[in-house]
Structure 1
């Protein structure tokens, strides 16, 4: 009897057992795990696999080379080549044999990036980091707007009906905030959280990360990848990730495969959590939710917003002389640092004296108190606020 026939027979008996338990003839969710490629060896894969087997939430299917312990699981044998494992994983996902898979070193197409999940140390809250690997867009600010959609989809698939989002205080944060606010005003159901710092706001400071001030933190993939590594391995010295659920599923427009990423330094606890994360996403119909979120965002003008973010600005050198100098004591915050000097010149052109500076929460424009309202109006009209 061939291995494939044995697996088919085993599946029939498993389905029969499930139907006797539930009264319905239905298959259990199957989640795959590719077991090759970890810097920590297959031992961590073995520990995670048996932890999942003991919990018995879903059926675990292993993909990879023949090692002695895989006989206790459904197993598809491959060579040591990770390319073979990736191709087999894709076949099993596309055929419906698997509803999700946890793997390493997967090359997502451009437009797809992963949403990681960690547990924050201050209050033990789950935090989705959107995103942690992959490239949603070659334009940073556009990528972060799309990352927000992806983060919301992952959180909803895990059962959070109205996930709160915040934007990490990195380059592009204020531009992304304006774009997401426009999307919200156009009817997209987006719920902003708030920084726990005294001055609040939708832009999160570093303190908000260990606190878990929101459900989903929006950032670029490189920053998100760094955050995942810090959250996952801060207690172990860095070479063994112990906390969180890995770097998460690849998400993007029209992308439906539930492929969740772990790193070569992910330890058994993270691999176990990543498998449960993949199961949650499969059970929550991640692909369907992602498609629905993009449809809703498109109805609220997502594509024109992204087009505006990706447009190459025309560079026209124009010398503007400042108005007569005044005492500047009033601060205007919320301007992107890369646009700060341009914002000052907009006010000069409107005959309002202004200076740039750096406040407690980031870049600021300084004006005289009597010009504050007029300056804010000018900056809003010019889309700097």
Structure 2
């Protein structure tokens, strides 16, 4: 009997060594919990995805949190969805699991999730920052924060210097200015260029399809829609079959690694989300986030964010601004956010330069006399409506 026990122990040791050689990891396995209640496709859909994730990566251990099921995976049995969330948090906070995947979660204000998709144009992976949660009640501030969150997620996943683009939405130019201020202050950001001839880091729909940036900055509601389209455009919309889900909640001083799935997420996305969660845990996203926030704060991040929220001279003045005499306007200036366009016109009128607003193929433009183009650009740059880069169409 003693000899049999010794043989079993020796066998286990050799198996453990073999597993470690195969995975390259000699420490404990990364444990990823997943709640199984709540899927529109049923508990079995989640369990099958979890089993795929487990079978393809022996360095992780998937823990099911939900009703008792017929599965070889580790299980923590709970009676309902609410109890599942509580148990998930308990396991995370105690360190019994390193990350968790769930279908709904209430993040605090300041935390939002970075999704990960595979784009149809070129088959590139792209991080969408962000897809659920609220980084800030202020739209532009939220998008600036989203950019930092996306960079953190991409760096944790092994992209040392991720390229960054800003989706062409209301507020995009203000986001661009804020991020370029950070870059000038020492927090270096690798801005990408649009694949379209006009270039620039403000991204068009073409850039989305091709996956031009590693990190695509957007507001959360738009990001949520993009995730749904990228993940289910081949299935008709009710079954998310592609990508890695809506990603981890990231925010300054946030200490739980929770990733989000949709209730429409199918087996492949469930499996990929678990793998995404395991990789983030292996890369120690919480520690990397602390380092990134320290660097970005050193570059004046909080001061730049405060500046975005101030009521500035850009708002409509109570006094009426009279337009200078009309003249031919063939010089065009790009890079002004649509929400600031009319105020930018008035800023030039105050300085005696006649200007009109318009819409070019890349977004809002101001039109001035070509002879006054340089003076107009300098005024708008001084008033913080534009940066001098990429302003002439």
Do the two structures share a fold, i.e. TM-score over 0.5? yes
Provide the residue aligned with 2:63 in structure 1: 61
Summarize the Cα distance change of 1:131–1:16 in structure 2 as closer, same or farther, 3 Å threshold: farther
Asked if the contact 1:113–1:131 (Cα under 8 Å) also holds between the matched residues in 2, the reply is yes
Structure 1 residue 194: deviation in Å?
1.1
Give the SS at the match of 1:167: strand
For structure 2, list consecutive stretches of 5 or more residues without a partner in the other structure: 1-10, 387-393
When structure 1 is superposed on structure 2, of 91-100 and 126-135 the one drifting more is 91-100
Asked if the contact 2:114–2:153 (Cα under 8 Å) also holds between the matched residues in 1, the reply is yes
Provide the residue aligned with 1:343 in structure 2: 344
TM-score, length of structure 2 as denominator length = 0.91
Provide the residue aligned with 2:259 in structure 1: 260
Equivalent residues in 2 for 1:4-23 (5 A)?
18=16, 21-22=19-20
TM-score, length of structure 1 as denominator length = 0.93
Structure 1 residue 310: deviation in Å?
2.0
Mapped to 2, the partners of 1:200 and 1:153 lie a distance apart of 25
Give the SS at the match of 2:205: coil
Mapped to 2, the partners of 1:373 and 1:15 lie a distance apart of 74
Q: Deviations over 1:219-276 (max 9, x none)?
A: 1100000000000000000000001000000000001211110000000000011001
Structure 1 residue 46: deviation in Å?
2.2
Give the SS at the match of 1:266: coil
Provide the residue aligned with 2:84 in structure 1: 85
Structure 1 residue 65: deviation in Å?
1.1
Provide the residue aligned with 2:34 in structure 1: 33
Mapped to 1, the partners of 2:13 and 2:360 lie a distance apart of 63
Mapped to 2, the partners of 1:248 and 1:281 lie a distance apart of 10
Provide the residue aligned with 2:272 in structure 1: 273
When structure 1 is superposed on structure 2, of 220-229 and 24-33 the one drifting more is 24-33
Asked if the contact 2:51–2:73 (Cα under 8 Å) also holds between the matched residues in 1, the reply is no
Summarize the Cα distance change of 1:15–1:252 in structure 2 as closer, same or farther, 3 Å threshold: farther
Structure 1 residue 20: deviation in Å?
6.7
Q: Deviations over 1:302-339 (max 9, x none)?
A: 00011111224566312111111110001000001111
What is the aligned residue count?
A: 370
Asked if the contact 2:49–2:271 (Cα under 8 Å) also holds between the matched residues in 1, the reply is yes
Q: Deviations over 1:52-72 (max 9, x none)?
A: 2321241111101112x23x1
Summarize the Cα distance change of 1:337–1:265 in structure 2 as closer, same or farther, 3 Å threshold: same
Asked if the contact 1:15–1:26 (Cα under 8 Å) also holds between the matched residues in 2, the reply is no
Q: Deviations over 1:193-239 (max 9, x none)?
A: 11111100010011110100100000110000000000000000000
Mapped to 1, the partners of 2:13 and 2:148 lie a distance apart of 36
